[in-house]
Amino acid sequence: MSAEQNSAVGEQPSAKRKKAAKGSTVKPVKAAAKAKAKSATKTAAKAATAAKPTAKPTAKPAAKPESHLAMVRRARRINRELAEVYPYAHPELDFRNPFELLVATVLSAQTTDLRVNQTTPAVFAKYPTPEDMAAAVPEELEEAIRPTGFFRAKAKSLIGLSTALRDRFDGEVPGRLEDLVSLPGVGRKTANVVLGNAFGVPGLTVDTHFGRLVRRWKWTEQEDPEKVEAEIAAIFPKTEWTMLSHRVIFHGRRICHSRKPACGACPIAHLCPSYGEGETDPEKARKLLKYEMGGYPGQRLSPPADYPGKPAPARIE
């Protein structure tokens, strides 16, 4: 499912960008929202046409080490530019309430969000509340979540956390980090996903994509997710944490892949000290953008209303 995002990516001249930003502040709220949705749709449509990236990478190996201040400025600029590339960045798990998001996030370990989204409708229909899931027959729950892999361990976690929610939290998902991480099978990453997206509490999601990209961008050298989280948290204001996580993960899934980053089709190549780690030839790089093949630009079966693409297929292929 990979429509090519590179088109969304040309760097705007700063004067033009400033003018656009200035104009948006005087728009009525409704008009601004409409314009945002329109721009998201336009961005995705552009992405599908696989236009050539216009920004030339200029971030060559620095002659002298980058100062911390310069790194922070560059990091914030990357975040701003990613916001332009992925105005519709969002969590890619389908959920209708905190419990569903918690379950979906546990299921998402070692598999794709699409696979989880294709599996959870039947799971949520059968076990809509923590009480229902706590009372599940383990073998039946295992069968229901089997497509997501590691189904025995995941079923054990789900029954354990549901039992804890029933017995210690009156059947409600708590909205505090310390409570969430006290649930079986729930670590900081899962807790931050739930806090950021179901409770509106800012959180950084340090998953495999996030960790890889922030190291490529030299925002941190840490490998340990908790240390990565702490260092990135110090670079950005809290209000940015949740959306920054979505943008970075979107970029990691769509362009800055683990094995073959598509540097030649990357909109932020000019800000990246790791430019050249992947394919730099624009034509070859564009061919690596396979994420949204088939015209499905995201993983959600029920995407947000302003999402520019069509929903992902419900069928497991």
**Residues at the interface with ligand SF4 (CB under 6 A):** 216, 255-256, 261-263, 266, 268-269, 272, 274-275, 277-278
Q: Which is nearer to ligand SF4, 22 or 259 (CB)?
A: 259
Closer of 139 and 277 to ligand SF4 (Cβ): 277
Which of 93, 102, 110 is closest to 183 using CA atoms? 102
* Least distance CB 123 / ligand SF4 (angstroms): 35
Q: Of 230, 152, 241, 166, nearest to 196 (Cα)?
A: 241
Q: Least separation, in Å, of the C-beta of 273 and ligand SF4?
A: 8
Nearer to ligand SF4, 111 or 280 (CB): 280
**Which residue type is seen at 131?**
E
Long-range CB contacts (within 8 A, 24+) of 127-132: 127/162, 129/99, 129/171, 130/99, 130/161, 130/162, 130/163, 130/165, 130/166, 130/171, 130/173, 131/162, 131/166, 131/171, 132/162
Shortest Å, Cβ 228 to ligand SF4: 16
Geometric angle at alpha carbon 196, from 154 and 45, rounded to 5°: 95
**Nearer to ligand SF4 by C-beta: 156 or 218?**
218
Please state the closest distance from residue 298 (CB atom) to ligand SF4, in A: 20
Active site residues: 189, 207
